[in-house]
Amino acid sequence: MEGPCEVPYALPLSGAWGIRTGRFGRGPVSANGAATFLGSAVDMMKIAFSSALCPQAALETIVAWATQFGFDAVELRGLQGYDRLPLIPALSEHSDDVRELFARNKVTLLGLGAPVTLDGKSESDVAAAKAEIAGFVGLASRLGCPYVRIPMGRVQRLDNRRLALGRIAAAVTSLVPELAAAGVTLLVENSGDFRGSRDVWFVTDAASHPAVRCCWNQLHALCDYERPTVSIPRIGQKLGLVHVGDVAFEAEGNGAGYRPLGQGEAELARQIELLRGIGYEGYLILDRPEYPLADLPAPEVELQAAAGFLREQINARQTVLAAYKGDKKPTKFRSRRASTVAEG
């Protein structure tokens, strides 16, 4: 059964077992959804890409590339240079045409990326941000799009990090009734000053509702030296979608330059192994990190190479993970950092 459904299935909820409906969650849900997720019959992950890779491209071109290179879905994070998607008439005033375009090409419109944060210190700033997010949620509902993604944001000047994180969690939680009514899931992506898995876990756990999930970006976490062996098990079933990419890192942990998937230091093969290990059956979305990169290839070149790499990794035979043997695949990034500290 594809798309939203009302078949209940069991998932852990704040340490206890609760019943959630398939309307929010990980995509297709069968009548025995609990057995599908918790047992051995786990669906294969799917691949998608963000329009951030081709910010000037027309919607028809984006959909055509998805079909040409074998992507299952597309996330819209801006279109033809505009990032306020609800203000683009081609989307807001012609939602039926957009839905027909994706359906005709058998490509899923997976999510909308909203460049809006809930990190404001004043009530008026937070209210304005929530109103803008509501516009994205309404558009997503009209387009039949299941996800809206927002970044975590930053700590404002003269603000306290813990207070800021608490305000973000409270603002996200307050959006739950509107999200539930629209049948849209809000994804909170680790970014800015909140790049770690603890931060997004805190926000999603505060909401404790299937309409709020995490969009995980390991490239951002690696800037704080947090490896996927820590991140992915911690986030677990709060995971909604995963953004992937690859870069070379400087010794200080900053992204230094673009690399094709599998040729940088993002540990992508390890990430996919771990995602498979926790039963993740959602999408891997090729995306750009929040920091600028040099030497970017043409979108067509990157999409073709990325699709091949991701399909190969998804279909690869899973390595047997033995916890008692420890991690036998230490990252070069981490060891290089240690040697840099020692030399200093």
What pLDDT shows up at residue 35? 30
Q: Are residues 322 and 219 in the same domain?
A: yes
What pLDDT shows up at residue 36? 35
Q: Are residues 33 and 96 in the same domain?
A: no
**Amino acid found at 143:** L
Q: What's the total number of domains in the chain?
A: 2
CA pair distance 185, 146, nearest whole angstrom: 6
CA pair distance 121, 115, nearest whole angstrom: 18
Per-residue pLDDT tens for 18-71? Answer: 333 334 444 433 333 333 333 333 468 999 999 999 999 999 999 999 999 999
Q: Are residues 138 and 17 in the same domain?
A: no
Per-residue pLDDT tens for 187-226? Answer: 999 999 999 999 999 999 999 999 999 999 999 998 888 9
Q: Are residues 184 and 304 in the same domain?
A: yes
Q: Are residues 106 and 227 in the same domain?
A: yes
Residue 148, CA distances (Å) to 38, 102, 138, 186, 306 in order: 26, 17, 10, 5, 24
Find the CATH number of the domain harbouring 71.
Answer: 3.20.20.150
Burial class of residue 310 (count of CB atoms within 10 Å of its CB; 0-12, 13-18, 19+)? buried
Q: Which domain holds residue 230?
A: 44-343
Q: What is the distance between the terminal CA atoms of the chain, rounded to a whole angstrom?
A: 58
Q: Are residues 35 and 11 in the same domain?
A: yes
Continuous H helices in the chain: 33-38, 59-69, 89-92, 95-104, 123-143, 161-174, 176-182, 197-207, 218-222, 228-235, 268-277, 299-315, 332-343
Q: Are residues 18 and 48 in the same domain?
A: no
Q: Which of 54, 91, 79, 85 is nearest to 69 (CA)?
A: 54
**Residue that has been written with the tokens 């505060």 in this structure:** 206
Q: Are residues 37 and 62 in the same domain?
A: no
Give per-10-residue mean pLDDT for the chain (344 aa). 36 31 39 34 82 94 97 96 94 96 97 96 96 98 97 92 95 97 97 95 96 95 91 94 89 70 90 93 90 80 95 81 52 46 40
Q: Are residues 2 and 36 in the same domain?
A: yes
Q: Are residues 18 and 134 in the same domain?
A: no
Q: Are residues 12 and 74 in the same domain?
A: no
Q: Are residues 93 and 9 in the same domain?
A: no
What pLDDT shows up at residue 295? 77
